[in-house]
Structure 1
């Protein structure tokens, strides 16, 4: 069938300002020009002669698909949710513990009032944005606004925000504020509710609790509970396969981020091309003008969220009688105060003003959690001065080999909270944690860290300057470790990570010697164990997928093999126990008949496909089992000498195992869920059955969703709409003839539930099918579904 190209030339006379520069000056379209080619599943390929035009095309294409999602995000970043949506609802920010509208508005209004983002924008590169990046962002804003201007708020295709009074043009400052917020989701952004609602206790005359030196001595159990960071609540798998691991002796990469499927956590698939300068394909977060994970002709890379520390919560010893002053080396330091007004819409529709006071210390914002007459806590974020991530990702996209990618990372040092995996056409693999990590040495940690926690921010003694962050000579700014301190590994076989520490990125060459704040855990969880065993099985051919060594088809097959590692090593023992004793006692003392459970588990295929009957029962059982700590039920306990294969097995005689099975059967029966239910019967997006399971079970393809998720589009979270897990999957092979890539975006390109691209790729994901990427101009123009839009501003 001949290619059908529908050319739409949108020639517009420049109108009044369509965007606002970071400095606040209104700017027009500046003669931007771009071409948008959309191939199957609505995937846009943007081509322009310069970076301003590239951003223009990208912003326009993204707005076509996701304007409502971006408008909602901008409402948050401007601190205006309470004005339009009321103060009590919860923000749609799923990446970092979305606060209530009022608290989020107070925080964001305070951030705008402080001028922090504008000051960072005023810095020259490499500390501030490069000229290419500034043009890209300005073009992105102009392109988004061009689509909104051409379409009109009243005619938007997405009913989520059609005709809403909170939808309007965006500014470059909005985009840059989004970049800033994204960088801090492992720190300050996660504490917005706590920061905005922090209130000092009333002063108490003669209050004490601080020693003569000014150093407090809290008991460990008195330290406050802090929210878990992003890496503990989401996840990703990343594989870099080198020439010694592939059958053709080239390089391959697997990208498999696990993120929420709604709001600002969504990824957008795109190709960006400036001929002779940039040609990169992959995915980027909503509102970002760059590709965050992807490939060009000779290089491919991905990221996984790390467990390194990216912020420190400093414990402040307060001045007796003054809860808004604290002691550092015995000297009193007053907190600063910032008064922030927020416009609020009442239930009657009338507007009023609510004023909040934000407190800050020399370390950063003060938290409400744990603020007493003697103690307070403040958070210092390693990304508090960082807009450089966009510089870094654009430079990575233009890099032609691993040396250039590494140079880009060393130059900008803007990676916020992620590991990097990369391969190039030499067949070499590269891993690093180049993220921004507080410069707290192991020596400092022994005397300064009051509580270390890989799932949360460390709590650090703030009563002495000896516990301040230090610096490295190769760091572009003080306070963080430089590239020379980061865990880094280069090999020609493979590197892999599933949100575990760097230690076993390749078990044949354990990474050691890096500072403990990067992540000092040694024990692997079940998902990273499974990932490493999947690679080992492919390298020796023991996985049943043919001759040893990866090919693109076997990489795809491994990704979507739906293996359940805990089921593989434990199912038979559980079946044996319920065959031997079909009446088990639940936690509440009820006797439960588990005979039907035996049959359901015995018939389970040990996978988590949409039709894997019995997998739901195993998930319920295992979730109950892992709740009971300490874990006494392993058949083979953890052995540091065998990190990839221990712990394993389930001891069917352990009372916790028996109770967990009874609880699972009891719970599913009460919910009227059949004991042989399959994942696809309960996990759905827009009604489409989903495979996958929770990572605690040792599942590589992590998916969690409700039966009704996806019914409200990609923005709103109400009514059981939340789903998360595998989002964008990319299997790329760098061949001498160019890249061969297969992808699937599990929720499609659009957050608009009325769009044909809202769930078209969900159908592919449900059936374990892939999109063959069109990367070259010839491949793109050969698509019979090709649609072309030419933009001139």
Structure 2
């Protein structure tokens, strides 16, 4: 263990929430790392093995990581990164480009705290059976934590392309094709979740709409007491290394921040201080560029830029692989890179190839920024942190303070490609992918802004931003309707500020408008903390509110519909179930499961016209609408849903909690594709094997994870929280499902923020750590 001296106190309140108190940043990291290891050592140990490129040595080449990448490909990518010394090179930079001294000490302490818990407990006595006694569990280093940070920062681009990078080979002649570069999202590759009731392969979805977040900042004109209020509702996987951990970090007189952070990172990424609260949602902007390379004639490992031949960079990477007989061997692969970034396997022919340039390829600055946000007490200080570090990799920021202003910004790292360059340099491709640019001319390189701390990205002066006294809101939509009364326009096209927004975002803006005028049934106009909580867990379903009655009319008029396989299906009982449904997705809402199967069946069923009234840019919040019961695919989808429920023995009026569960607990909410605000995607068996990794893809779960409602009053913050899956991945821990039961029942945790509130908890447990031990 480290020779540094550390002193920290871990105060655990209800539901095992740790409040770390320490005199300095190193000791704060020490306490945080120790507390996290108590709850989730197995998950972080698994991730460290992945980031060290050692999975094949323990589990063989054919097994996969949590995101589905084959071990050998993952190890090849990670070993290549380590051999290139990428993270070490970034660590040598002084702040603001490299870590601040305080952050360096915090990371060192975090690793030491983890190691202290492992040393004191012993591998063979770890409480989680997932890694108890396993040979792949051992001490970690500060560099391991920095690798976690780098991996988190890259998920909007490189994180989803590791296999394509690791398997790229010079090919023979053949047709070019480019597989989709994942849009921004936590850990990028979204594991699938089976549809309700079916559990069949044809109903597996990896729709990005179920991941990301809802975020509201409510200003003084929207709140009953003219305070600033915030709703944080990130939608992230419930299994694996994208989970969030709830914590409070305190250095008296220096830092006091509460909220949650991604596993293995040493800071609070969504949270609040005494006078400021913030959250993040996934940015729609491009965070990378694909460059199409024109290869040199006769040499597929060289490319041409402005008429000059440039050889690709090659790096040989050996990977240790455990064979079927348990014996190790070495597999050697070669990685190829260019001036733009790594070459991808997809589309590499004798004449052209594709390279990926990631705006976060040089980014460790994010943790500087989040640590600075954790000391901020006003929007002005938060904005200063943004301008100083410019490290937020792939999210919007939504914030408010005690002054009652609401603030939105896309300060994420976006490649500096001007509209003129896009017009001149873009090549044909999928409109949902980042622009494919012409790599044969330097005129298509990224540019720079004078106010950007690094070259190649847009600076703060060109980023979409909005400050309001009423509200700003985002639900994984583009920035255009951050506020319905003040559309954001005129920004570079790389920020993707087009007009149309999705159904969930429309619902969020409706919910705000209805609360402000008091038409939502929650009482007098204006947000209070209780009405903000009620709105969040109201489990409204936008597509049902707009189309359920039309669906009932359709099946009343056509009581027998034809399924995809040609079977005639009697849908009269389905009509009754949908007619009786309250259009909510409470865990016990009968009929909700049928609507989900119907709605998703239309989405997956091929070309269709779900809505009778198409989207109209002049009516962005009220169109599209009116379910089109005349569309054949819409009718087939209802017949298919009824047929599937009969086949699987599920009642047509089954509640949504019948088909989506976590460790057997019925869950409220539904898929983002349905226009649900409280997004949950799960199966009947999700969570049965713990939170480290799913037993199969069908056990995957995602959606509302850390939910936080904050009111910033003159006397301090009033906060309610929910960590939907609890603080621990260990299925034997009391904190594996304790908050899941609260979530299922629509209950919240009253946060303890002040020292008096923490001390008053009757369940308070205190651990005092010192190193060297005394």
TM tier, smaller = over 0.9
Q: Please say if 1:686 is aligned against 2:660.
A: no
Distance 1:243 1:631, change over 3 A: farther
Q: Tell me if structure 1 keeps the 8 A contact 2:542–2:675.
A: yes
Q: Identify which of 416, 421, 430 aligns with 1:444.
A: 421
Distance 1:627 1:698 in 2: 16
Distance 1:647 1:261 in 2: 32
Q: Identify which of 766, 769, 774 aligns with 1:788.
A: 766
Q: Please say if 1:496 is aligned against 2:466.
A: no
**CA displacement at 1:502 relative to structure 2:** 0.6
**CA displacement at 1:550 relative to structure 2:** 0.1
State the Cα deviation string for residues 469-527 of structure 1 (Å, max 9, x = none): 00000000110000000000001100000010111000100011111111133111100
Q: Identify which of 273, 277, 280 aligns with 1:300.
A: 277
Counterpart secondary structure, 1:450: coil
Counterpart secondary structure, 2:578: helix
Instruction: Look up the match of 1:755.
Output: 733
1:655-674 matches, cutoff 5 A: 655-674=632-651
1:333-732 matches, cutoff 5 A: 333-451=310-428, 455-627=432-604, 631-719=608-696, 720-732=698-710
Distance 1:738 1:297 in 2: 6
Distance 1:510 1:271 in 2: 36
Distance 1:142 1:596 in 2: 61
In structure 1, list runs of 5 or more residues that go unmatched: 1-17, 19-27, 208-217
Instruction: Look up the match of 1:63.
Output: 37
Counterpart secondary structure, 2:699: coil
Q: Identify which of 23, 26, 38 aligns with 2:12.
A: 38
State the Cα deviation string for residues 723-759 of structure 1 (Å, max 9, x = none): 0000000000000010000000000000111111011
Instruction: Look up the match of 1:317.
Output: 294
Q: Tell me if structure 1 keeps the 8 A contact 2:184–2:287.
A: no
Q: Please say if 1:225 is aligned against 2:179.
A: yes
RMSD: 1.3
State the Cα deviation string for residues 40-77 of structure 1 (Å, max 9, x = none): 00000000010000000000000000000000000001
Distance 2:525 2:61 in 1: 59
Distance 1:792 1:62 in 2: 17
Instruction: Look up the match of 2:196.
Output: none
Q: Please say if 1:151 is aligned against 2:129.
A: no
Counterpart secondary structure, 2:161: helix
Q: Tell me if structure 2 keeps the 8 A contact 1:226–1:457.
A: no
Q: Please say if 1:744 is aligned against 2:698.
A: no
Distance 1:652 1:747 in 2: 39
Q: Tell me if structure 2 keeps the 8 A contact 1:451–1:460.
A: no
Q: Please say if 1:284 is aligned against 2:261.
A: yes
TM-score by length of 1: 0.93
Instruction: Look up the match of 1:165.
Output: 135
Distance 1:653 1:319 in 2: 55
Q: Please say if 1:53 is aligned against 2:31.
A: no
**CA displacement at 1:631 relative to structure 2:** 4.6
Distance 2:430 2:413 in 1: 17
**CA displacement at 1:654 relative to structure 2:** 2.6
Q: Tell me if structure 2 keeps the 8 A contact 1:308–1:454.
A: no
**CA displacement at 1:583 relative to structure 2:** 0.8
Q: Tell me if structure 1 keeps the 8 A contact 2:606–2:633.
A: no
Q: Please say if 1:735 is aligned against 2:705.
A: no
Deviates more, 1:580-589 or 1:67-76: 580-589
Counterpart secondary structure, 1:194: helix
In structure 2, list runs of 5 or more residues that go unmatched: 186-207
Distance 1:451 1:432, change over 3 A: farther
Instruction: Look up the match of 1:79.
Output: 53
Distance 1:520 1:242 in 2: 23
1:762-781 matches, cutoff 5 A: 762-781=740-759
**CA displacement at 1:721 relative to structure 2:** 2.8
Q: Tell me if structure 2 keeps the 8 A contact 1:256–1:729.
A: yes
Instruction: Look up the match of 1:214.
Output: none
**CA displacement at 1:376 relative to structure 2:** 0.5
**CA displacement at 1:432 relative to structure 2:** 0.2
Distance 2:661 2:412 in 1: 35
Q: Tell me if structure 2 keeps the 8 A contact 1:307–1:455.
A: no
Counterpart secondary structure, 2:486: coil
Distance 1:29 1:298 in 2: 37
Q: Please say if 1:194 is aligned against 2:148.
A: no
Instruction: Look up the match of 1:11.
Output: none
Distance 1:155 1:175 in 2: 24
**CA displacement at 1:262 relative to structure 2:** 0.9
Deviates more, 1:513-522 or 1:482-491: 513-522
**CA displacement at 1:227 relative to structure 2:** 3.8
Q: Please say if 1:130 is aligned against 2:100.
A: yes
Instruction: Look up the match of 2:252.
Output: 275
Distance 2:347 2:762 in 1: 62
Counterpart secondary structure, 1:54: helix
Distance 1:394 1:387 in 2: 12
Q: Tell me if structure 2 keeps the 8 A contact 1:454–1:519.
A: no
TM-score by length of 2: 0.95
Counterpart secondary structure, 1:173: helix
Counterpart secondary structure, 2:626: strand
Distance 1:727 1:492 in 2: 28
**CA displacement at 1:455 relative to structure 2:** 4.1
Deviates more, 1:43-52 or 1:632-641: 632-641
Distance 1:80 1:228 in 2: 25
State the Cα deviation string for residues 595-634 of structure 1 (Å, max 9, x = none): 1111111111101111111111111111122235655342
Distance 2:414 2:164 in 1: 22
**CA displacement at 1:655 relative to structure 2:** 2.3
**CA displacement at 1:637 relative to structure 2:** 1.4
**CA displacement at 1:449 relative to structure 2:** 1.8
Q: Tell me if structure 2 keeps the 8 A contact 1:236–1:258.
A: yes
Distance 1:327 1:567 in 2: 54
